[in-house]
Amino acid sequence: MAGIYIHFPFCKIRCNYCDFYSIIKIGFIDEYLSALEKESKLQAGYLNSQIVETIYFGGGTPSILGECELRKVIESLNKYYRIANNSEITLEVNPDDVNSEYFDKIKSLGINRISIGVQSFDDKTLELLGRRHNSKQVYECVTSAVKADIQNIGIDLIYGLPGLDAKAWRSTLNKAFELPIKHLSAYHLTYEKGTVFYKYLLEGKLFKTDEEESWRQFEMIHDLANENNFEHYEISNFAKKGFYSKHNTNYWNETPYLGLGPSAHSFNGYSRKWNYSNLKQYINLINSNKLTGEGEDLTLFNKANEYIITRLRTKIGIDFENFRKKYGEDYNRILTNNFEKYLTSGHAERRNNFGFLTLKGWFISDKIMAELMVLK
């Protein structure tokens, strides 16, 4: 079992908060697609002929691509990889790019899951974020997808936004859960270097949400998700039963995946690699039949820490017995001893051989994971 991620690095405009690799020069799309097909061929042996059960088109804004362009990519993948007949194929979409006709066409290609970049239902907030859609277009997008009989619909939201209080966040969540969606991702706003929001933060035009308010908003989405029969299965992800994102779940379960396109990452079980975040460099290298990027072989130490970080993001948590067998008594003893502190503080729980973070633990997960990592 394996997955493929395709990074489409083009956007019509750049959002004020986003630090993912993207460019707004969409005139390079044809060159990119040609290089992508060549990279698919060059990377054909990476997954060792494993069956690919998930394909994810991310970005950037992959919904800029039309049916013919998406068909070209999918046909290329089927040519070089063993794609399962019932594979989960996800396309990230921007609400103002799509309509019922578009969804009808992409469904015919086998795309059976969409992830809509909603972020907010408030038009003023969308304008502040630099989004190019409005709230009306969100509803039109979801309606169009349902009309095309696409059942697996997910949306993304952002909390911890400037001026967003608990009342406004509750209103946002209520609107989200009224939609016929199966999946919801909610991410706290971060101010990343190089973004417009980071510049505004330095200039005092924006201020970070305080920790108490952030906690209220995080707790609220957990509670409202439960009320609406959504499982909180990973720190930032909620889903109806049977509708977990298979692709993202693979990341947390150590399943091999191949990343295609500039800035994309790959993992085959014993090493990681990543493509350079530069479209021109990517195209030039691929056209010279060279792979683009860097990588590293993973030591037992690296693997143990990755296991801790990825598993604690999920509701399943760490299987201590499995950890001991895979990484040895010494690392297991360190992890177990470090974990005790968070059992006492209420940030973690342990049931039988499994340890996992509580909601309080998830809220400060970065700090906890850093402290739980085993030492060389």
pLDDT at residue 376, as a whole number: 55
Which residues of the chain are under the pLDDT cut of 50? none
Q: Residue 254's pLDDT is what?
A: 87
Q: Is 46 among the domain residues?
A: yes
Long-range own/partner contacts, residues 306-310 (CB < 8 A, 24 or more apart)? 306/254, 307/254, 308/335, 308/369, 308/372, 308/373, 308/374, 309/369, 309/373, 310/251, 310/252, 310/253, 310/254
In a domain, 261, yes or no: no
Q: How far, in Å, CA of 107 to CA of 166, rounded?
A: 38
pLDDT reported for residue 318: 95
Q: Are residues 155 and 227 in the same domain?
A: yes
Residue range(s) defining the domain that contains residue 361: 300-372
Number of structural domains found in the chain: 2
Cα dihedral 91, 95, 98, 99, rounded to 10, equals 120
Backbone angles phi and psi of 265, in degrees to 5: -105, 155
**Per-residue burial over 231-265, b = 16 or more CB atoms within 10 Å of its CB, e = otherwise:** bbbbbbbbbbeebbbbbbbbbbeebbbbbbbbbbb
Q: By three-state DSSP, how is residue 157 classified?
A: strand
Looking at the domain assignment, is residue 285 inside a domain? no
Q: What is the CATH number of the domain that holds 193?
A: 3.20.20.70
Residue 80 is predicted with a pLDDT of: 97
220/311 same-domain check: no
CATH at residue 327: 1.10.10
Query: Looking at residue 253, what is its pLDDT?
Result: 87
Taking CA atoms, 334 is separated from 283, 308, 337, in Å, by: 45, 12, 5
DSSP codes of every residue in 53-121: EEEEEEES-GGGS-HHHHHHHHHHHHHHSEEEEEEEEEEEE-GGG--HHHHHHHHHTT--EEEEEEE-S
Residue 373: φ, ψ to 5°: -60, 140
CA 250 to CA 314: how far, in whole Å? 12
Both tokens of 33, joined, read 């697609």
**What pLDDT shows up at residue 373?**
87
How far does CA 347 lie from the centroid of its chain? Answer: 24
On whether the CB atoms of residues 91 and 62 are closer than 8 A, the answer is yes
pTM for the structure as a whole: 0.95
Provide the CA 325 distance to its chain's centre, in angstroms.
30
- Report the pLDDT value the prediction gives residue 301, as an integer from 0 to 100: 92
Do 234 and 323 belong to one domain?
no
pLDDT value of position 269: 87
